[in-house]
Structure 1
Amino acid sequence: MTIENYMPDFVLEKAYDVTVESLQKYHIRTVFVDLDNTLIAWNNPDGTPEMRKWLHDLRDAGIHVVVVSNNKYERVKRAVERFGIDFEAFALKPFTVGIERAIKRFGIKREEAIMIGDQLMTDIRAAKRAGIRSVLVRPLIETDSINTQINRWRERRMMKKITAKYGAFDYKREM
């Protein structure tokens, strides 16, 4: 397990810092985005006005947004259906199951896709395995569901290794 398998291509404050302009600059036409603590706070299914504007801006620019979540189908559907975006539930990240399903289902080219997520151990690792670019963002809120708390413990250990070798991540406001 090399730490390079957990190194994101970009490190940003939040998903909404991924702008239409930056996606166009990197020729990205599809954004895969994690659900809990990335797109929405895990305990706030309604999202924020900022999130809705971000989704609207991407859609208007012709950029396809697909939520890729480890959550159950009903949970993801309930969270995203009001926003009119596609999703893959039960994605099994850090494996590529959900990403691969979305790539096939929508005919996505890997070089035109990016994965945005708040966890190194699931989101970034799955993107690396799938051969797509990745963006690590800070979690929207400090608390996590019980399942995520276990991953956070593993993530802290990996972060220490990354920081020792490369220095701490510098969270930016643009790609």
Structure 2
Amino acid sequence: MSLLKLLRPGDVIRSVADITPEFLAARGLRGLLLDLDNTLVPYHSYDDFPRSARWVEEMTGSGIRLALLSNATVKRAEEWRGRLALEGVGMAGKPNPAAFRRAARALGLPPQQVGMVGDQLFTDVLGGNLAGLHTILVHPLIDNALPHTRIARMLERRVLARHGHAWGPEVWQPGGAEDGYGK
């Protein structure tokens, strides 16, 4: 399989809030692996993020199995695991597909019934595709100013444009405080 194909997300959506049980059922998915930073909560923030907490509660209440799969530090991942009542790990080693397969097995589901939700092509989408999962790319919650992230985002825009997706800095901005995405 070509690298370009491995970097193609199954779906590109605005946020995790766009994922519903019906969305998952239409794709044959019963569980999700979730990135933490810029997917569920703003990068580096420890502030409460009620929209994600409500979404997690609604999804688990609907019988959807969820687990955190993050490259954040173990301490940060543990903090948010507790706050969001999720299983999962930090310092997962994404995009290593073994981490994705282990996490899917922990959900008790075969890979074809598990989706990987994240905001980065080179970790979340690449690793999820290598592991045989359905990948769902979400727009980052905030524009992370770290130098390596800026470079990755430039490359992501080029790859996504090849797949027919417009993805620029303007879509990385929060939607505003009223929808839970304000700074």
TM-score normalised by the shorter chain: which range applies? 0.7 to 0.9
- Whole-Å Cα distance in 2 between the matches of residues 60 and 126 of structure 1? 28
> Which residue in the other structure is 1:22 paired with?
23
CA distance, structure 2, for counterparts of residue 6 and residue 88 of structure 1: 23
Q: Partners in 2 of 1:114 and 1:74 — Cα distance? A: 25
Measured after TM superposition, the shift of residue 104 of structure 1 is: 3.0
Task: Give the AA of the match of 2:142.
Answer: I
Structure of higher RCO (CA pairs closer than 8 Å, 6+ residues apart): 1
Shift of 1:117: 0.4
Shift of 1:110: 0.7
Deviation at 1:62, TM superposition (A): 0.7
Tell me the TM-score normalized by structure 1.
0.85
Which segments of 5 or more consecutive residues in structure 1 lack a partner in the other structure? none
Q: What pairs up with 1:152-167 in 2 under 5 angstroms?
A: 152-163=150-161, 165-167=162-164
Q: CA deviation at 1:24?
A: 2.0
Deviations 1:113-167 (A, max 9, x none): 00010001110001111010111111101125x4xx414413422432442x343
- How many residues align? The count is 167
Q: Where in structure 2 are there 5+ consecutive unaligned residues?
A: 172-183
Correspondence for 2:165? 168
- Distance in 2 separating the partners of 1:5 and 1:155: 17
Q: What amino acid maps onto 1:103 in structure 2?
A: A
Counting aligned pairs with the same residue, the percent is: 26
User: What letter corresponds to residue 51 of structure 2 in structure 1?
Assistant: E
Matches within 5 A, 1:61-140: 61-140=62-141
Alignment partner of 2:155: what SS? helix
Summarize deviations over 1:32-77 as a string: whole Å, max 9, x none. 1100000111232244222121111101111011110012222200
CA RMSD of the aligned region, Å? 2.0
The whole-number CA distance in structure 1 between the counterparts of 2:32 and 2:159 is 28
